[in-house]
Structure 1
Amino acid sequence: MNAPDLTTPSHPPAPTLPITVREGLDFGLDGDIARHWFGGDAFKTRFFDAMSVLFPEGERFFIACVRDYKDQLHSPEQAQTMLDFAKQEAQHTKVHNAFNKRLAAQGIKVDKILANQRRHLFEHVRKHLSKRHTLALTAAAEHLTALMSHAFMQNRHHFDDADPRVRAMYVWHAVEEVEHKGVAFDVMQQVAHVGYLHRVWALVLVSLQFPLLVFQILNHMLKVDGYTRAQRWGIWLKGLWWLYKPGGLMGPLLWPYLAWYRPGFHPWDEQAPAEFQTWLGAMQRSGNPVTASNALQPHT
C-alpha cells in the first residue's frame, strides 16, 4: 500500500472559484476573423493557434487520466468535482475543434498533427506508463495551463490587439482552467498518492516537451503562411523577444511555475485574482463571453 505524500497538507486550501460548466457559448468564431488575428502579428497569432491545435487531444488525455481513479474516490463531492472537470474539458475540446477547422481551411495540417498527438498520448504514453505516471503528467500540465491563465489575465494589456472573439475564447478557457486547477492535483495526492519526486519529474518532462511541440507547430504554420526561411528567422527573433523579454508574456510565469517544486505546494495556494471575478460578474450580467472578455480590456 502506498503511503500518503506527507509533503502535501492534509487539508489543502479551498478554491475561490466553483467549477461551473458553461455550455453553448457563442464566441462568433464563424465570423470574418483575420488570418493573423493578433494585431496582424504572425508569431503572436500562430503561438496561440498552435496551442489551440493541441488542446482537443490533450483535454481528452487529461480526462482519461483523471477518470482512471473514478472508482477509488473518497466521497460523492470528489466524484462530482471530477465530473465537472471532465465536462469543462469536454467543452474546451468542442470549442477548439471548431476553431481548428478555420486553421485547417488555411492549409494547416490539423488532422495530421492531431493523429500524431493521439497516437503518442494514447498508444504510447497511456500504454507504456503507469496510471500514476500519466496522472502526474496531467497534474503537471494543468499547473502550466493554470499559471498561464493567471498571468495572462493579470497582464491583459498584452492582448489589446487581439481579435475580441478569439481573445474571448482564450479568456473563457483561462477562467475554467483556474476553476478546476486543483482537481487533477488532488486526485494525484489524495487518491493515487504520488510522491514529491514523482510530481517533480512530471513537471520537468512536461516543461520540456510542451513548448517544443508548440514551436514545431508554429514553425509549420509560418511555412504554410508563405514566409521564406529568412523571413521566419526575423519573425522568430521578434516573437521570442516578445515572449521572454523582461516584462514580456512569459516573465510573470516564473515564480508561480517554481512554486510546484516546493514541498507542500498546492495549486490553490495562489487564489484567483480580481480579474477572474470581473469576468464572472460581466458574464453573469451579459451571458456573452465576448462582452465578459472585453470587460477586462481597459482600451476596449
Structure 2
Amino acid sequence: MTHTPPPSLAPHPNIVPREQLSFGFDQDIPKYWLAGNPFKTRFCDAMSTIFPEGERFFISCVRDFRDQVTDPQLLAEIKDFIRQEGQHGIVHNQFNAHLVKQGIQVDRLEAHMKWWLFDVLRKRLPKKHTLAITASAEHLTAIMAEALFQRKEVMDAADPRMYAMYAWHAMEEMEHKAVAFDVMQKVAKVAYLRRVVALLQTTLSFNLNVLVFTNIMLRQDGFSRWQRIKLFAKGLGWVYGPGGMFMGTWRSYLRYFKPGFHPWQEPPTPVYALWLDTFNRTGDPVEAGRVVYASAN
C-alpha cells in the first residue's frame, strides 16, 4: 500500500521499521572487506563510526518540532522515521564493536562526532537550522544510497554481509527521505536560503569528517604517512572521480537548490523494489543484499 501523493510527486513506499536483523557480525568478517582494499574499506568504516551519533542528532532535530505537527500521516511517518534511524544506530554500533577489536579507537571518533553535533551545532544554532541540516543530510544519504547500489563496480567484491548492511540502510533511507524535509517545510517553515546554506554546510562537513576519519583509521592500521598519501591518491578517484561512488549523483544533488524541490519528485531507485520483494519473501537482509548485488549493472 502506498500513500496518495500530491499530483506533482511520485508514488512512494511506506516507512517500515525492520528490527532484530542479523547480518552475521558474529562471524569472521575480513579486515579489508571491500575488495581487500584498505582505503575503500576504511572510507565505509568511517561512515559507520559517524552514523550512530548522526542518527541520534537527526532524531533530536525532528523531535524539536514534533509537538507542532497536526497532520496524522506526518506524525505516523515521524514515528517510523525515529524507529528506523534508531535501528540504524544500533546495527552500526554492533559493527563498530568489530572495528574496536581491530584496534580502531571508535570511542574517540564517536566522541568527536558527539561534540560536533550536540555541543556545537545543537547548542549554538537555531533549531530551524539544525532541522535544515537534518533534511540536507537525508537528501545526501538518499542520493548516495542510489549511487552505491545501482552500479556494481562501486561496491564490487564486498563481503556479502557488509554489502547487505549498507544495502538495508540505503533502502530504508529511500523510504524516509522526505520526513525531515516535510517537517522543515510544512511545520518549521524554513526559508529557502537557510535550506540551501544547510546543504552546503552539510556537504562540506560530511565529506571532511569521513576523509579525516579514514586517514585516522589507516594510521591506526599502521600505514605510514607516505603510504596513506598513495592510498588517498588512488582511492579519491573511487569516491569522486569518473565511475566513482558519486558519479551520477550531481543532478539529484543540484535539484535540492530548486525553490520548488521535494524529495518525492524522484521515486526510489528500481533496486529498492527488488530488495523489498526479496526481503519480504525471505526475511533475510543478507539474501536481499545478494539479489541487489547480482542485479547491479
What corresponds to 1:24 in structure 2?
A: 20
Residue 231 in structure 1 maps to residue 220 in structure 2? no
Q: Secondary structure of 1:298's match? A: helix
What corresponds to 2:187 in structure 1?
A: 191
Judging changes above 3 Å, is the alpha-carbon distance between structure 1 residues 196 and 11 closer, same or farther for their aligned structure 2 residues? farther
What corresponds to 1:3 in structure 2?
A: none
Farther off after superposition, 217-226 or 150-159: 150-159
The code of the aligned residue for 1:235 comes to L
Q: Would the aligned equivalents of 2:149 and 2:293 in 1 still touch at CA under 8 Å? A: no
Q: Secondary structure of 1:158's match? A: coil
What corresponds to 1:177 in structure 2?
A: 173
Q: Would the aligned equivalents of 1:12 and 1:266 in 2 still touch at CA under 8 Å? A: no
Judging changes above 3 Å, is the alpha-carbon distance between structure 1 residues 288 and 235 closer, same or farther for their aligned structure 2 residues? same
Compute the displacement of 1:195 (Å): 1.3
Query: Of residues 45, 48, 52 in structure 2, which corresponds to 1:52?
Result: 48
What corresponds to 2:198 in structure 1?
A: 202
What corresponds to 1:215 in structure 2?
A: 211
Compute the displacement of 1:155 (Å): 1.6
Q: CA RMSD in A?
A: 1.6
Q: Secondary structure of 1:251's match? A: coil
Compute the displacement of 1:153 (Å): 2.1
Q: Would the aligned equivalents of 1:38 and 1:44 in 2 still touch at CA under 8 Å? A: yes
Compute the displacement of 1:157 (Å): 3.6
Equivalent runs, 1:1-300 vs 2, <5 Å = 13=9, 15-298=11-294
TM-score (normalizing by structure 2)? 0.95
The code of the aligned residue for 1:265 comes to F
Judging changes above 3 Å, is the alpha-carbon distance between structure 1 residues 65 and 292 closer, same or farther for their aligned structure 2 residues? same
Any gaps of 5 or more consecutive residues in structure 1? 1-8
Compute the displacement of 1:86 (Å): 0.1
Compute the displacement of 1:20 (Å): 0.4
Compute the displacement of 1:23 (Å): 0.6
CA deviation profile, 1:272-296 (whole Å, cap 9, x unmatched)? 1221100001101111000001001
The code of the aligned residue for 1:55 comes to F
The code of the aligned residue for 1:24 comes to Q
Compute the displacement of 1:11 (Å): 6.9
Partners of 2:295 and 2:231 in 1: CA distance: 26
What corresponds to 1:4 in structure 2?
A: none
Q: Would the aligned equivalents of 1:153 and 1:276 in 2 still touch at CA under 8 Å? A: no
Farther off after superposition, 104-113 or 216-225: 104-113
Compute the displacement of 1:12 (Å): 6.4
Compute the displacement of 1:53 (Å): 0.1
The code of the aligned residue for 1:263 comes to P
TM-score (normalizing by structure 1)? 0.94
Q: Secondary structure of 1:252's match? A: coil
Compute the displacement of 1:81 (Å): 0.6
Partners of 1:254 and 1:122 in 2: CA distance: 29
CA deviation profile, 1:224-264 (whole Å, cap 9, x unmatched)? 11111221111111101222221221111111111111110
Q: Would the aligned equivalents of 2:145 and 2:174 in 1 still touch at CA under 8 Å? A: yes
Q: Which runs of 4+ in 1 moved over 4 A?
A: 9-12
Partners of 1:206 and 1:299 in 2: CA distance: 32
Farther off after superposition, 111-120 or 166-175: 111-120
Any gaps of 5 or more consecutive residues in structure 2? none
